[in-house]
Amino acid sequence: MSTKLMFSPGRIGKMRLKNRLVMPPMVRNYADTKGLVTKQYIDHIARIAKGGVGMLILEASYVAQEGKGFVNELGIHSDACIPGLKKLAAVAHKNGAKIGIQLYHAGRQTVPGNNGGKQPVAPSPIPDPLEQVMPRQLKVKEIRSLVRAYARAAGRAKKAGMDFVEIHGAHGYLVEQFLSPFSNKRTDAYGGTEMKRLRFASEVYLAVRKAVGAAYPVTIRLSGDEMVKGGLKIKDAIKIARHLEGLGMDAFHISAGVYGSYVQGHMIPPMAIEDGPLLRLAAAVKKAVNVPVIAVGKLRTPQIVERALKSKTGDFVAIGRTLLADPEWPNKVRAGRLADINKCIACNQGCISRLFAQQDVRCTVNPEVSREALFLVKPGMRKNVLVIGGGPAGLEAAKVAARRGHKVTLYEKSSRLGGQVIAAAMLPLRKDWGSFLETLIHDVKKSGVTIKISTAFSPSMVKPGEYDAAIVALGSTSMRPGVPGINRTNVVIARDLLEGREKATGTVVVAGGGCMGTQVAEALAVKGHKVTVVEATNNIAMEAPLDERYLLLERLKKLHVVIATGTKLVGISDNSVTVEDAKGQRNLQSDTVVLCLGSRPNNGMTDELKNRCAKVFVVGDSNKIGRVTEAVADGALAALQV
């Protein structure tokens, strides 16, 4: 396939770019609590810049303290931020990339816990539907002071050696709060009509322009559609873009959504959403303006990137999570090493879900993210390493250890590598788990690991001292609670059902409404079964990322899956189950019962292994029941320590 367009040089204003690939802004939560750049941040940006991307846009960086949205977000609100930003500029420039920074103020989309205890401010006193904190309406004098804060921030960016600034006018933050009738109900000079709502954005742009001069590129990110009732639509975004182009804006970066529509999955499209859902928005703006447009949103393959450029949907393509999953993506595509790409699987678990939990951003499929320096430490002597279990934890451990030059042997008792992820990939709209396994297995094989499948390992198989280190990654065993009737033949374990070892017939009761139970219910309902999910707590699928959970519950509604929360399974017979809730016991018709009641770690052989190996690490579910995100990280970190 041709990759000519994505590697052709481009231009934004007077800035020349080596290619059309852009790292979009992503808050990492790596700054210190004062918003200053840390070594962790520099190592991370250096890794991405080395991978060949042409242009990096640093994260939403607050121009004023009350506009801070995350506890360890980057700031550009004070001159103290300049020295750290200079270091980030230097690592980008060293790799021939251009770097800029996104200027932002969260407005009502923050909470006092994140912005230093201040009441959020906004054009109008209307709480954001997600954050639900009443903001204080900004006075005109305060608005003018904020305009100056954006200008001062832009001046700092230029002083720090940034090549451009991007104004954050998307995702429902302050600039968009003014632009949108969804959040701006003012009737003064800053609201009431389309032109008045545009006033804040225009003043911010003009003040920024004055601060940085005519030749310095200034871009803006806009939501092509806010995806909320009463919010901005693409026709509004086009008018806004044309107006700002008239003032001198150098480029438009077209995203979508606000916090109020976040769960619909447009802003950071999750696994269940198709690739490229926002391309139509970028294309519409591109048709309307004469300056470059940056397209974004789940553009994960070289094919879709090249197509977006060829079809003139955008002049540049932003690949955000793709660069977290594999910072070498541009270099690998350029070299035609497509099979070696570590693909982002849009799980949203390691990155955005951690950010929303005020943790630092990581990546499920790339444990190096956030810990780049650890992986740069050179290995010591070559070791003989035993890995037991071929699920994600064991595979990752084997890959990392082998890549570091160790001799690695991996045992897997089943005939297939992949562990529980094989079952996960069988669920509706979860095929990306299959692609995750395909890549990981490819990498393990390529790294020279000796793989022994269909071989159940037991410690007696090795002599003391034969291996220097053992990594135990045996996964977990599904729970069967002591409910009367639990051993009947109509009771099946979810993993067995998904992997085709068991079958469901007729009406089904799924016991356990966690992430797995609800997804298994969907899989069965899609096949035409009448399904009830029985869950003892009052909530279901709570571990899922916000957007995945919302989309899943909507699909379950459409499929008429019955959800019984606050309800316990207490007995099973041939064609019914007995359940108990606050009102007492009742029977539900059920030909098959599927158990999704959690699992317990398999770690039985650890002590025996300790007598035979100097170092033993227990990772993944064997150590603590978790998700792939933790399993992969555990495996990699153990491999660094052998």
Judged by CB under 6 A, the stretch of 30-38, 157-165, 317-325, 609-617 that binds ligand SF4 is 317-325
Interface residue with ligand SF4, options 153, 237, 308, 363 (CB under 6 A)? 363
Placement of tokens 């639900």 in the chain: 132
Q: Does 621 bind ligand FAD (CB under 6 A)?
A: yes
Site for ligand FMN in 390-419 (CB under 6 A): none
Q: Given the complex with ligand FAD, which of 406 and 549 has the nearer CB atom?
A: 549
Interface residue with ligand FAD, options 78, 303, 414, 603 (CB under 6 A)? 414
Dihedral pair phi/psi, residue 521, rounded to 5°: -60, -40
Query: Across-strand partners of 165?
Result: 101, 218
Q: Are 351 and 362 within 8 A, CB to CB?
A: yes
State which H helix or E strand residue 89 sits in.
helix 82-94
The CA distance from 57 to 100, in Å, is 5
Least gap, CB of 22 to ligand FMN (angstroms): 9
C-alpha torsion sign, points 37, 40, 43, 44: negative
Least gap, CB of 353 to ligand FAD (angstroms): 10
Interface residue with ligand FAD, options 107, 217, 392, 513 (CB under 6 A)? 392
Q: Given the complex with ligand FMN, which of 244 and 398 has the nearer CB atom?
A: 244
Of 28, 49, 13, 36, nearest in space to 86 by CA = 36
Q: Given the complex with ligand SF4, which of 27 and 365 has the nearer CB atom?
A: 365
The CA distance from 177 to 193, in Å, is 14
Show the binding pattern over residues 168-207: x = contacts ligand FMN (CB under 6 A), - = does not: x-xx------------------------------------
Show the binding pattern over residues 97-136: x = contacts ligand FAD (CB under 6 A), - = does not: ----------------------------------------
Q: Given the complex with ligand FMN, which of 388 and 544 has the nearer CB atom?
A: 544
For residue 25, give the 3-state DSSP assignment.
coil
The CA distance from 507 to 366, in Å, is 41
Per-residue tokens: 452: 């022994």
Q: Does 351 bind ligand SF4 (CB under 6 A)?
A: yes
The CA distance from 334 to 305, in Å, is 13
Q: Does 498 bind ligand FAD (CB under 6 A)?
A: yes
Interface residue with ligand FAD, options 19, 476, 590, 592 (CB under 6 A)? 476
Cβ density class 431-459: b for 16+ within 10 Å, e for less: ebbbebbebbbebbeebebebeeeeebeb
Show the binding pattern over residues 100-139: x = contacts ligand FMN (CB under 6 A), - = does not: --x-------------------------------------
Judged by CB under 6 A, the stretch of 274-282, 323-331, 468-476, 506-514 that binds ligand FAD is 468-476
Least gap, CB of 453 to ligand SF4 (angstroms): 26
Tell me the residue type at 374: L
Least gap, CB of 445 to ligand FAD (angstroms): 16
Q: Are 104 and 89 within 8 A, CB to CB?
A: no
Least gap, CB of 362 to ligand FAD (angstroms): 12
Q: Does 629 bind ligand FAD (CB under 6 A)?
A: yes
For residue 390, give the 3-state DSSP assignment.
coil
Q: Is 388 exposed, middle or buried (0-12, 13-18, 19+ CB in 10 A)?
A: buried
Q: Does 533 bind ligand FAD (CB under 6 A)?
A: no
DSSP sequence for 446-507: HTT-EEE-S----GGGS-TTS-SEEEE---EEE-----TTTTSTTEEEHHHHHTTSS---SS
Q: Are 574 and 488 within 8 A, CB to CB?
A: yes
Show the binding pattern over residues 136-175: x = contacts ligand FMN (CB under 6 A), - = does not: --------------------------------x-xx----
Tell me the residue type at 554: E
Show the binding pattern over residues 202-241: x = contacts ligand FMN (CB under 6 A), - = does not: -------------------x--------------------
467 is catalytic: no
Interface residue with ligand FAD, options 225, 236, 306, 412 (CB under 6 A)? 412
Q: Does 301 bind ligand FAD (CB under 6 A)?
A: no
- The pairs formed by 371-377 with CB atoms below 8 angstroms and a separation of 24 or more are 372/40, 372/43, 372/44, 372/46, 372/47, 373/39, 373/40, 373/43, 374/637, 374/640, 375/640, 376/43, 377/640
Query: Across-strand partners of 408?
Result: 385
Per-residue tokens: 637: 């970190």
Q: Edge-to-edge, what's the strand order for the sheet holding 584-589? A: 568-572, 576-581, 584-589
Judged by CB under 6 A, the stretch of 93-101, 307-315, 320-328, 585-593 that binds ligand SF4 is 320-328
Taking phi over 0 as left and psi of -120 to 50 as alpha, with beta for the rest, 485 belongs to: left
Of 259, 260, 254, nearest in space to 238 by CA = 254
Least gap, CB of 325 to ligand SF4 (angstroms): 5
Residue 256 binds which entry of ligand FAD, ligand FMN, ligand SF4, none, CB below 5-8 Å type-dependent: none
Residue in 62, 173, 190, 262 annotated catalytic = 173
Q: Does 371 bind ligand FMN (CB under 6 A)?
A: no
Site for ligand FMN in 19-38 (CB under 6 A): 24-27
The CA distance from 371 to 377, in Å, is 11
Cβ density class 291-325: b for 16+ within 10 Å, e for less: bbbbbbbbbbbbebbbbbbeeebbbbbbbbbbbbb
Residue 474 binds which entry of ligand FAD, ligand SF4, ligand FMN, none, CB below 5-8 Å type-dependent: ligand FAD
Q: Calculate the alpha carbon distances from 314 to 49, 223, 232, 247, 430 in Å.
A: 22, 15, 21, 21, 29
Per-residue tokens: 525: 């309902």
Interface residue with ligand SF4, options 29, 61, 348, 490 (CB under 6 A)? 348
Tell me the residue type at 614: A
Least gap, CB of 274 to ligand FAD (angstroms): 18
Site for ligand SF4 in 325-344 (CB under 6 A): 325, 344
User: Interface residues with ligand SF4 (CB under 6 A)?
Assistant: 321, 324-325, 344-351, 363-365
User: Interface residues with ligand FMN (CB under 6 A)?
Assistant: 24-27, 59-60, 102, 168, 170-171, 221, 255, 268-269, 296-299, 318-322, 351-352, 355, 361
Active site residues: 173
User: Interface residues with ligand FAD (CB under 6 A)?
Assistant: 349, 388-394, 411-414, 419-421, 423-424, 456-457, 473-476, 494-495, 498, 516, 602, 620-622, 626-629, 631
